[in-house]
Structure 1
Amino acid sequence: MGPISNGEPAGPGVGDDPEAARRFVKLGATGLTSVSPAAQPGSIPGDLARYIDHTLLKPQSTEEQVRKLCAEALEFNFRSVCVNPTWVKLAAELLRGSDVLTCTVVGFPLGATEPEIKAFEARRAIRNGAREIDMVLNIGALKSGNDALVLRDIQAVVEDCVDGNAVCKVILETALLTDDEKRRASELARRARAHFVKTSTGFSTGGATVSDVALMADVVRGAGMEVKASGGISSYSDAKAMIEAGATRLGASASIGIVREAKSTSISA
């Protein structure tokens, strides 16, 4: 049985070339992440697996699939598995004692719940064993110009993540935003002291693009934040382009194929 696909739409734009490689951003605001920046800006890490969140977020995911996802993550030593909240406890049990973290999602995939609800989701997930929380910001509030609500929305989750010694990644859903909105959202995540900004849920009209990753990295880089690219990353060339643009984490369901292709490319070179 092959690697699991999470059923996320691929989205356009993963192959477009960056104007220039962006400098890697540093460790998150509380230093909780363990992936070190590359020695040279935009260079490809020797152990690409440690940059990948091995992802399964499709609603029809079964226990068997989650168990397989975790077994794959242990075999390839991915940074984390990213699963829906209902599977956090199982994943944490299966990964206990390893270097693979349990990641889950909050306010997913629409971001259209109140800050208090997102905070409760985060607390519950952390209690069940999650070490990383990928939250969707309030997209409608952002597009309405209600930056105060967006900031409160993010801060509510960040506070519980800090209390629970967990990393908070803020999903912008870039396919739905203008460049100005992407900058504002990244700046609000920065003000809220989140650890990452993330491009996409993988459930909207598009996924990660090189230009969006570079834009987000440019905004948050000085705050010691990181960028996660997610949505439509299905090959080593996709992963390489995102890292060169400034991503230090990748969300993917095609993780095994990406790592195998990277190793094959390295050997042939």
Structure 2
Amino acid sequence: MPISLEKIERDAPRLIDLAKKADISILKANLTNHQAKVALCLDISGSMSFLYSSGKIQTLAEKILALGCRFDDNGSIDIFLFGQNPHRVGEMTLGNFQDFIPNIEQQHRLEAGTYYGKVMKMIRKFYFPEGNGDSRDSPFAADEPIYVMFVTDGATSDEEETQNQLKWSSFEPIFWQFMGIGKPRKDVSGEGLSGFVGKALATDFSFLEKLDEMKGYTDNATFFNVEDPESISDDELYDILMAEYPTWVKFAYSKKLLQ
């Protein structure tokens, strides 16, 4: 069972309103008393600099922690980073959340590169070590699902590996919620210099859209985009995070991925 709201209010009062809002979205999704492990996977490529320095990533991480507390009795979420290389940096908890992102910024400088596939392999290996993050073509069952919130502001340099990782992970009880931050290139209009500059500054999320549409053993990935993580209300964010996940959970049970 998730930790109580009373414990959250006592140990981390800053998160109590977020936890209550997450509860509302969970209730609407018919996932009350649902157990899952929540992970947050964060892009640390150089273009993410302002999102970190402005505190926007810390704020987003707190929102994901509040959701994790409603799914997990440990009151924590696992944090992974990716840029040129993948990193696992431990757990964000009710006890250490307030300065968690600034602290990991000091330990992990932004990197010149973006590789989704490398960190997806690390995450799969961490939760399902017997598979080593390698290819899989038959169902693997576990007691609880893994919900991965995957945050990036750009395209990956290892598209083939990423697609393979997503395909192989469709045989495992793991759900990928991809969140793109930035203005999509397809939404930029205008001619001449302004149009050229606008498209140059925008982001091509077409590959993430392709991942959303990929079909494997299960449909275990979805994608949404925001120009700014703080431009979306907490209620709307949690509703989006609970939009496709409940359907996947039912399907995962029917496919014997959850027991």
Bucket of the pairwise TM-score, normalised by the shorter protein: 0.3 to 0.5
- Could you tell me the TM-score, scaled by structure 1's length? 0.36
Structure (1 or 2) with the larger CA radius of gyration: 2
- Could you tell me the TM-score, scaled by structure 2's length? 0.37
Which structure would you say has the larger RCO, counting Cα contacts within 8 Å and 6 or more residues apart? Answer: 1
